[in-house]
Amino acid sequence: MNAVAIGFFVLTILVTLGVTVWAARRSRGRADYYAAGGRLTGAQNGLAIAGDFMSATTFLGITGMYFMSGVDPSAIYYLAPLVGLPLMLLWVAGPLRRAGKFTLGDVMASRLRSPGLRVFAGASAIVISTIYLVGQLIGAGGLIQILFGIGFAPAVILVGVLMTIYVAVGGMIAASWVQIIKSVLLVSTIVLLSAAVLVQAGGFGPLYARAVAAHPLGEGLFMPGGGKMDLFSSVSLAFGMSVGILGLPHLLIRFFTVPDERAARRSAVVATSIIGFVFALMFLVLGPGAIAFVYGQPRFDGPDGLLRGGANMASIHLADALGGNVLMGIAAAVAFATILAVVAGLVMAIASAASHDLYAVLSRRKDKSEHEELLVFRLAAGVMAVVAVALAFAFQHENVAFMSALAFAVAASANFPVLVLILYWPRLTTAGALTGGLVGLISSVALIVIGPAVWVKLLHHAAPIFPSDYPGLLTAPLALIAAILVSLARPAPRMVEAAAE
């Protein structure tokens, strides 16, 4: 086992726990626990949003995808945030900050004062974040197993315990600062690795020539068309990945941590800039670098002749090839910090939805205090951590990429259409919003179930009923149309008056 990696691993845990204790001392009430008191600057929140998006799947998975098949289809994963975040800046960031306080339920309640809609907002936030969280935990268990030699079960339990402590003790202040620290570490590490690749290869030209010589695809590495997907699937995957960002609760609630709309917009710009810079380095330097320095090198292959630990380990092996144990230890520890920060953000979204949206509506007592709601928040963080760890054990052999695709598809189909209509369309009714959300949720899950990934690969049927794994291009417009039609067919009395005015 790599002593440097273990040293950084322990240091990461100590620093993040220290941040949590510091955050707990600064947290007083709901505003601090749910939204960091609204005191983060645009730059700080931008770093946190970038950190939320750049999960271990991004750092290790996309470079691994490039390592296997070149620019395509990894280009879609690289470019999705460059579409989604500017759209978030244009359409959502400012109005969301203006309308909301702590959760998406607040935003929906600001327009349509319906307990049912708040329950839907809370439930969809919990469902989407839990699916995403379970996928991250399964990936985390596997990665920690490979990086540090710890078994899957203890690795997942360790991550589960740490994420509960961050959120239950330090709330959004801790979750945000852990994310900010991780973002700075991740960006620094990727810059360091990229510089090492370019120096050792002798520049871009020699790097690309070396990659072309090492990979069986040759110059095809850099050309589009290798995705092997039909046109609908590639466009639908891109659409779902892009607008799914606008429906992910753990990203959206970050806009409540800044003081005003201007800072919310700045957050989106800073996040897009950081992600664009990091992804460009991964796309233009690290991906080709992994091929040039790792592909076909016997010392990185396992007994089966394939890359040790799978393609996801290409970045870690690249660090080893460039800087030996020290650089590899740093890269492994940063991957671990990345995992911790992302799961903490997801638990934050789940716990705040459970206590501020669900408990607030479903509990019939009217004299609920702020202290009681925060107690439910902490309990929800602990309970959901246990549930997520249990689900990670149950689904540990499932495809992690499928679970992420499911979370993005549900976010794009159930949350995104309702959120946009709530922010921009005055004639939306409660019935319309609920219908749209439910149509998006049910249709996206149903089409994924009868698609190739589940219907054929998991359930072993001969052919899929729906030909694609990526239904977002169909289901998001379907939800939007359903919400509009129901709102027009059954306008609420107040809406009729407002429209007449």
Partner 1 sequence: MPKVTARQVLISALMAALFAPVYLSSGSAAFRPAWFTARVAILPASVWMVLILIAVFVLMVWVVSGGVYGRDDDDREAGR
Q: What track of x and - describes contact with partner 1 for positions 398 through 427 (by CB under 8 A)? A: -------------------------xx-x-
Radius of gyration of the chain from its Cα atoms, rounded to whole angstroms: 22
State the CB neighbour count (10 A cutoff) for residue 399: 15
Q: CB of residue 230 vs partner 1: minimum separation in angstroms?
A: 6
- Binding piece for partner 1, criterion CB under 8 A, among 4-12, 50-58, 66-74, 436-444: 66-74
- Which residues face 307 on adjacent strands? 301
In this complex, which beta carbon is closest to partner 1, that of residue 20 or of residue 430? 430
Contacts of 371 (CB under 8 A, 6+ apart): none
Instruction: Tell me the C-alpha distance between 238 and 234, whole Å.
Output: 6
Q: Where would I find the beta strands (DSSP E) of 354-405?
A: none
In this complex, which beta carbon is closest to partner 1, that of residue 108 or of residue 391? 108
Contacts of 76 (CB under 8 A, 6+ apart): 227, 234, 237, 238, 241
Contacts of 342 (CB under 8 A, 6+ apart): 51, 52, 55, 56, 136, 179
Q: CB of residue 76 vs partner 1: minimum separation in angstroms?
A: 5
Q: CB of residue 94 vs partner 1: minimum separation in angstroms?
A: 7
Q: CB of residue 153 vs partner 1: minimum separation in angstroms?
A: 38
Assess 469 for contact with partner 1 (CB under 8 A): no
Q: Is 390 left (phi over 0), alpha (psi -120 to 50) or beta?
A: alpha
Instruction: Tell me the C-alpha distance between 333 and 61, whole Å.
Output: 16
**Looking only at residues 143 through 182 of this chain, which bind partner 1 when binding is defined by CB under 8 A?**
none
Assess 91 for contact with partner 1 (CB under 8 A): yes
Q: Which long-range contacts (CB under 8 A, 24 or more apart) does 296-300 make?
A: 296/214, 297/321
Assess 499 for contact with partner 1 (CB under 8 A): no
Q: CB of residue 231 vs partner 1: minimum separation in angstroms?
A: 4
- Binding piece for partner 1, criterion CB under 8 A, among 28-36, 82-90, 187-195, 365-373: 82-90
Cβ(133)–Cβ(346) under 8 Å?
A: yes
Q: What track of x and - describes contact with partner 1 for positions 215 through 254 (by CB under 8 A)? A: -------xxxx-xxxxx-xxx--x----------------
The single residue among 8, 53, 78, 359 that binds partner 1, judged by CB under 8 A, is 78
- Which residues face 301 on adjacent strands? 307
Cβ(10)–Cβ(162) under 8 Å?
A: no
State the CB neighbour count (10 A cutoff) for residue 214: 18
Assess 94 for contact with partner 1 (CB under 8 A): yes
Assess 283 for contact with partner 1 (CB under 8 A): yes
3-state secondary structure of 55: coil
Assess 383 for contact with partner 1 (CB under 8 A): no
In this complex, which beta carbon is closest to partner 1, that of residue 85 or of residue 348? 85
CA 127 to centroid of chain Cα atoms: 14
In this complex, which beta carbon is closest to partner 1, that of residue 10 or of residue 90? 90
**Residue in this structure with the two tokens 């899957």, named with its chain if needed:** 152
3-state secondary structure of 307: strand
Assess 477 for contact with partner 1 (CB under 8 A): no
Assess 86 for contact with partner 1 (CB under 8 A): yes
In this complex, which beta carbon is closest to partner 1, that of residue 95 or of residue 160? 95
Q: What track of x and - describes contact with partner 1 for positions 258 through 277 (by CB under 8 A)? A: --xxx--xx-xx--xx--x-
Size of the site for partner 1 (CB under 8 A): 47
In this complex, which beta carbon is closest to partner 1, that of residue 97 or of residue 118? 97
Q: What angle do CA 460, 57, 298 make, to 5 degrees?
A: 85
Assess 461 for contact with partner 1 (CB under 8 A): no
Assess 89 for contact with partner 1 (CB under 8 A): yes
The footprint of partner 1 (CB under 8 A) covers: 71-73, 75-76, 78-79, 82-83, 86-87, 89-91, 94-95, 98, 111, 222-225, 227-231, 233-235, 238, 260-262, 265-266, 268-269, 272-273, 276, 280, 283-284, 423-424, 426
